[in-house]
Structure 1
């Protein structure tokens, strides 16, 4: 009797163990790069009888069959053709409860969610795997572009200038490393100037160049491409010559107010509609005495740089008045003392300290007070 009861207890425990199984998948998304191989984890804590076992790996978005284990065997004939020869079980691990899948030569089209469904005679359980490719952030001109490794990307650059394109030099530079990505010079694309990393991968849209479109197509984006790319063309600087203070900058087809010294923020600006006509004049508003001095306008093109200068002088008028009688005692106007404008009572008696005027000192000396 004891033997029969013991055997019955063993059978009950065995059935309960099958009913209680759970399936484990990865806790976090699996991050891969194109061309990589990746294991999609799926396992149970305790091995299951092979004669009762069926395991399916499917894509959730389309129910595409990635791989199937059935009747004690792997069934490659059941796979969708996109996964044929690329997805396989670790066959020796299945008896141990490991149903993980190896996916080789991963492509961007493989991104997405997968489910591992384990069936027994009593029930089924599922686990999920999220296969992702790392976003790369590539910036060019004024916008950020998000792209997966292995994909192609277009970075826009439009040159709006009065100069013929044959006279332009347009460079695409990877700014964090100073690498030459692409060059247009003397009316031609110059692939021999590219860094070897971008040879055959970066190119202009040749038929668009006569229209001033110097956008770049970058093929097969790689992890090391992450970062900022700059399209460099015409550049115009306005600076104060005594201090090299940046008053305003036009660069890469845009006014760059963020480059201004804070003293000129929102006070100095280009006539944006005039720049394509070759007019780089600057408007300075709310002028202060501190703005006096020499300024230079530096225009950079592909071949050379040229400068022009402007001298900002403030026309001061300084009056000394006897307020109770509104009598003009002394006048400085148009950079000169004006004794002829004095009231006769002060003629020859009131004068400036001439040598002090350039320093801003307009003190008056009054002789023979009475």
Structure 2
């Protein structure tokens, strides 16, 4: 294909499609049961007439949402999306066709297509929900051994970020399940427990908000031996894990062994002591999460690390390190935390729960997560001669991404223009510390508009932009920081940068205001015979869309207009003025004035408005002469 054919094809494609439909900059990761915004927008939309927006599943072509003929069509929507798919009809005029999908389920993973039709133009974008964080309940898979009369902890934790609606611990007896303890409606329900467990079971209340629903069973009895199930319900999903309470020893047997050992010889004492110590200390397993952790940028994440059996606090050491660089994140040693050996990047960010050590919990809370925190972490536990470790991974940290149109914008002088920019990540708007729009002028940056501390600061704008720039206030909570520049001037031409700050991260993107078309005023002088008809010319060099178009003809010495056309309605104030609405699509706004009188002499102005912007102004001077009706001169 030669260059001319390539250029011709590009032009034809541009004519065929007319606009580009934009989606997100990457894949979407959503917590189960949460809401997610599926972005879909265009930079410019010539007309709302015949507009149609379709949202479909790309794999099954299931219709999620349809906007057609100026209204939403819920009757054709698939029933799975009733009351879950929200369309922002008020934002259509801004070119925003995004869809809010509520109460996300695992079945919502996949690709979605947003198709936009407007007149002869069309375009589409594809959005993918890659991962939906499922409800994952984890615990210990091995049997636990405990002495009769002691206390034991049965581990159960919810690894996802989904609030648990109900958690029940049940013991399996033959084919039945006995209720051991119930958590429901955000409260523990001890009175619901079976009589044999009442007053002997409890949750760790301070741990529930972290998803820890481990069960503390006190004063173990021989009949407590068996299988226990921890079942968690969240929305329409549930998951469970089981723990087996296996070998139940008796403390008095160990007392007898100790007495026999004391009464025997030294070698027998040593032998018995070894047997006793061996039976008491069987080693331990360090447990971590069941899979990679996905964390919002700037959020907090719990790095789980625990053991099944209680360890002696004497000589206990817990180390947290980055597996890749061996950077020390946290150290617990000799009964205390050692902040002086901690890497400075984790000061005030890594929190260790010293009060939970006695329960075998060595988890670490990492705050204010950054993109650099992605990677593997090792939790290593030493107790006496025993040790163990677990490795976990922070897989994805949602970054700060500022997106918008990369193309240059053209606008007429005097018109308004929108510079589109939005924050595509899932960072809450209240966590966005600052958004600034600046214009590059040689080596300097002129401040156009500033958003800081959850407020817009118009007074900080440079004088040339003050009172001419604004954000869309109602859109900020959705991450939309597009700039509206009103009454464009020739000196506004240039490069504009939108910069966003959130915590330790920042991102920016630029848009160029390139071609500034200056509105040209035309003037005519006409000589017309008395009693004739005359056409007062008003012609634009290119067609204008009829939407929001207003045409006003005025005479300089009269306060009332001669003729007004607006919203497909026209009205003549002289009774002798006629206007052809069919010529509007060709850019012709001329006025026919019939039976010209002496009072009609003077200056006439044709003003054409699109919205509030004046896009065309033509002045015609009408001069009467006592000439024959067949003679009309134009100068």
* Structure possessing the higher relative contact order (Cα contacts under 8 Å, 6 or more residues apart): 1
After TM superposition, the score normalised by the length of structure 2 is: 0.27
- Which structure has the highest strand share of the two? 2
After TM superposition, the score normalised by the length of structure 1 is: 0.44
The structure with the larger Rg is 1
